[in-house]
Structure 1
Amino acid sequence: MKKDILAQKLEQQLRTVAAERLAAKREPGLLASRTALKQYQAARLASSHADLLAHPNTGDAARFFLEELYGSQDLSQRDIDLGRIIPTLQKMLTYEALHTITDAIVLDALSEQLDTAMARVLGTEFTEGMYIAAYRTATTREERLRQLDLVQELGGSLCDLVNIPLLAMTLTIMKGPARVAGLSNLHKFLERGFTTFKKMRKPRDFVATIVARERQVMENIFEGRMDSFGQ
């Protein structure tokens, strides 16, 4: 896939994410519910992957995944900035780096849609049982499988980044121009992802572990098992 096709895909996915977040902001109740849901999910993921967070080899990468991909922070401004400078991205970023950014936004777009569907059911106060019921009824197995496939793809993109010769030097050189071009947050995402995956032994095993665990959680929920979050 060429960079111009990637850029088109990125632009389309950003529109999807922006529309989802804008719709939520127009409904204060929905926005509050989405925020509560995201906070709950971040805490659950931190608990499920506590061993990865605590291990010296995987801790930084696990925090990157949980904070950058599953965090509860508002990323609206990041998306606005990103959409504004897509032509600049095509010129400044390598194909692999642009591919990683695109994978992240594709995952973000689907996750936002699934969060909205669940938030409309849950409200701001809910139990684990209510969360599990909403997961099963407001979203589908096919959607959740697609979400996990996207996590796998993004993890693979990050693994590919660490094998690019001189990328660390390129990211260092880009820091100043990125700030001038309004790309600081984007540069931080790439640099953090590259750094955490570069220093990790067997990064593909790390991605496979997270995906396998979350796939088991998904299966537990849709099969109605009592301890859905047990591994």
Structure 2
Amino acid sequence: MSQNTSAADLIRTHLARVDQLRRQAHTEGWQSAVDEVKLLQAHRFRATYSDFLQHPRYAPATRFFLDELYGVHDFVQRDAQFSRIAGALERLFPEAVAQLAVDLAETHALTEVLDQKLATHWQTLDPGLPAATRYILSWRLTNSRESRERQLTVIQHMGLELQRLTRMKSLRLGLRMMRNPARVAGLDVLQHFLESGFDAFSSLGDARPFLNAINERESRWVQAFFEQPMDACSEALTRELTSSN
């Protein structure tokens, strides 16, 4: 975190970027393309991590990532609550918690930026193309490998911090005690999000095997989407999407 930029400012900057992209998608008429891209990606994620979703130890953390970070949901309410308490978060919690919040906001913003870029290309391509081919072409047209790698780096850092913080019993207890005040203050959606993250990682134990698997699997897909011959890549993605149905 920059010494000259507070956690609250970083959080608000990331969330303002997400809000701007949402408005742009609606104004320019490509929100449906964004939704199609997100739905395809959600199917791919569920196929790639189907083993984790069925594993008692890994399932909660996997669902947290797939539902709360990459889900096909409307996060407007949560983002508004998150932005509203950004300053209080920095004042009331340890620096590590504030940095975790920055990681969450950056992951969210990176995901939205990349999804929106994909959607702008997706909507210009022939809808008669196989979905996998259309997606890979869109991916390559975004030329965003550095951002994809940054996304994985932030996820790794965020996961390790979540694991560390869940071991601090005072923080977990404090979060539970915030349920009623959060509901009264209209922060119930954000409260659910934070508790989901803590619950998922508190049951995970050592998070490194889980995070290493995410990094390895996603890096393999990133490389395939950018470098693998189109036919082979399209066939592999089609198989993955089919296995999630």
TM over 0.5: yes
1:14-163 alignment runs, 5 A limit: 14-28=15-29, 30-123=30-123, 125=127, 127-163=131-167
Measured in 2, the distance between the counterparts of 1:196 and 1:83 equals 23
Aligned-partner SS, 2:178 = helix
Aligned length: 230
Cα-to-partner distance string for 1:54-83 (whole Å, 9 max, x where unaligned): 111101110111001111111122222222
Report the Cα offset of residue 10 of structure 1: 0.8
- Matched residue, 1:195: 199
| Superposed CA offset, 1:26-55 (max 9, x none) | 133x10000111111011100011001111
- Report the AA paired with residue 176 of structure 1: N
- Structure 1 residues 36, 8: closer, same or farther in 2, change over 3 A? same
2:219 is aligned, of 195, 215, 219, to: 215
For residues 129-184 of structure 1, what are the alpha-carbon distances to aligned partners after superposition, in whole Å with 9 as ceiling and x for unaligned?
11111111223211211121122122122122212232221111111112222221
- Give me the whole-angstrom Cα distance separating, in 1, the residues matched to 2:194 and 2:78: 13
Structure 2 alignment gaps of length 5 or more? 241-245
User: Paired residue for 1:204?
Assistant: 208
Amino acid at match of 2:166: V
List gaps (5 residues or longer) in structure 1: none
> For residue 9 of structure 2, what is the aligned residue in structure 1?
8
Please state if 1:178 is matched with 2:176: no
Distance 1:165 1:85 in 2: 22
Q: Which has the higher contact order (CA 8 A, sep 6+)?
A: 2
Contact 1:58 1:200 in 2 (8 A): yes
CA distance in structure 1 between the aligned counterparts of 2:214 and 2:63, rounded to whole angstroms: 12
Output the aligned Cα RMSD.
2.2
| One-letter identity of the residue aligned with 1:205 | P
Q: Distance in 1 between matches of 2:184 and 2:39?
A: 33
Q: Distance in 2 between matches of 1:54 and 1:92?
A: 37
* C-alpha contact 1:57 1:200 (8 A) present in aligned 2: yes
| 1:88 CA drift (Å) | 2.8
Q: Supply the distance in 2 between the matched residues of 1:61 and 1:181 (Cα, whole angstroms).
A: 27
Deviation (angstroms), 1:9: 1.0
Alpha-carbon distance between aligned partners in 1 of 2:75 and 2:224, rounded to the nearest angstrom? 30
Cα drift, residue 221 of structure 1: 1.4
Asked if the contact 2:148/2:222 (under 8 Å) is kept, the reply is yes
